[in-house]
Amino acid sequence: MDQVESVRTPASWVVVGLDNGGTCNNATVLDATGRYLVDSLVENPSLVTDGPESAIEQLAGAFHNILELTRTPLTLVRAVGLDTPGPASAQGVISSKGATNFSMVSWHGFDIRSALEARIGLPVFYLNDANAAALYAHHQLFGAEAMTKSSVAAIVGTGLGGGVVEDGKVVSGAAGMAGELGHVQIPLHGVLEVGQPVPECNCGFTGDVESIASLTGIKKNLLPYWLTRFPDHPLAAEPLPQAAKQLRSYAEKEDPLALAVFGQQAKAIGKLFTIAANFTDPDAYLLGGGVVEASPKFRQWFLNTVRESTELRAEQQAAATFALVADLDMAGARGAAVAALEAVQPS
């Protein structure tokens, strides 16, 4: 278990946030005054590939370790927030067809929220990981005004996750699958080149946001096309999976092929945000993922391109903010903690 440089003891009752990933769990503690008691990652192996029993034990271990690290008595913990990759129901039941990181048959239809609740003996509240990151980004941006504001967040990674927040709360939907922004199909005019094949998503859709704005979209759709336009590029000699992962480093050096690929991603997200503007008219459009971890010049260029590709009315332009998701590696656990705090805090 990793240790952190700075820890605090709680000033009041607390909630714990647990972010479950493919390789690691990350844990945090949030007290009722709004203070996070750790300032960096606190991780342990998630062991999700070993099946539900091992994974639940690791989550329980992460929970007890973060309490010990922050010198928090168990009696002060009112609830736990848990996030995992989706798809899963709003109650934390993994999809019957499995999900990202949960491909073993024993995970199909598994109620991870209830299993953890039974193991630790405390109420557990569930979000998918992109919704949790979106919730944290919303509260980090708006602070004391968060409960009166709205936002839409796109989180670009292996796929494209996201979240819709209204009045400070995640919109989860009837089946818990609201905010699956990656699978919104977008108009491709102005995004693709003439003659460029329509991108295909692993979900079976064509022309959705994830088919373009994701690492998978780069590998499967964008890079194969652009390498035909730049046949002498150094990445042409690399296997596609490796080439896709190296592309951002080329973009940071203003490589024309890389900028063409990321320009299409930014335009696709702009199309998504244009649709969001007409559905929810949010106060903020938030962008997270690998682009946030890039060089400042590149990430600002990417955010600017997204903004320029989002068609807003004059009134919306005056009211809306575009921003990057802060503290991305901790955003999931912190967002899960915020959800738990909202669930148990007296109104």
**Mean pLDDT of all residues in 301-322:** 97
pLDDT of residue 347: 62
Check pLDDT > 60 for residue 5. Answer: no
Alpha-carbon distance 152 to 267, whole Å? 16
pTM of the full predicted structure?
0.90
50 DSSP 8-state letter: G
Structure tokens at 298: 């590149």
How deeply is 78 buried, as exposed, middle or buried, from its count of CB atoms within 10 A (0-12, 13-18, 19+)?
middle
Q: Are 164 and 297 in contact (CB under 8 A)?
A: no
The pLDDT tens digits for 16-41 are: 999 999 899 999 999 999 999 999 89
pLDDT of residue 329: 85
Check pLDDT > 90 for residue 110. Answer: yes
The whole-chain average pLDDT of the chain stands at 93
The pLDDT tens digits for 202-219 are: 888 999 999 999 999 999
Alpha-carbon distance 301 to 254, whole Å? 10
pLDDT of residue 333: 97
Helix residue ranges, H only, the chain: 52-69, 112-120, 129-142, 215-217, 223-229, 240-251, 256-279, 296-309, 314-319, 328-344
Alpha-carbon distance 113 to 55, whole Å? 12
Alpha-carbon distance 77 to 280, whole Å? 35
Structure tokens at 142: 């708006």
Check pLDDT > 60 for residue 109. Answer: yes
* pLDDT band, very low/low/confident/very high, at 7 (cuts 50, 70, 90): confident
Instruction: Say whether 77 sits in a helix, a strand or coil.
Output: strand
Alpha-carbon distance 77 to 11, whole Å? 12
3-state helix vs strand vs coil in the chain, percent to 5 = 45, 20, 35
The alpha carbon dihedral of 185, 187, 193, 196 has a sign of: positive
Q: How long a stretch of residues is the chain? A: 347
Alpha-carbon distance 297 to 91, whole Å? 40
How deeply is 177 buried, as exposed, middle or buried, from its count of CB atoms within 10 A (0-12, 13-18, 19+)?
middle
- 228: how many CB neighbours lie within 10 A of its CB? 10
Q: Are 295 and 255 in contact (CB under 8 A)?
A: no
Q: Are 15 and 81 in contact (CB under 8 A)?
A: yes
User: Token pair 């980004």 is at which residue?
Assistant: 137
Alpha-carbon distance 301 to 307, whole Å? 10
The pLDDT tens digits for 115-173 are: 999 999 999 999 989 899 999 999 999 999 999 999 999 999 888 988 999 999 999 88
Alpha-carbon distance 301 to 322, whole Å? 13
The pLDDT tens digits for 236-285 are: 999 999 999 999 999 999 999 999 999 999 999 999 999 999 999 999 99
Closest to 303 (Cα-Cα) out of 277, 328, 315, 321: 321
Closest to 123 (Cα-Cα) out of 114, 131, 132: 114
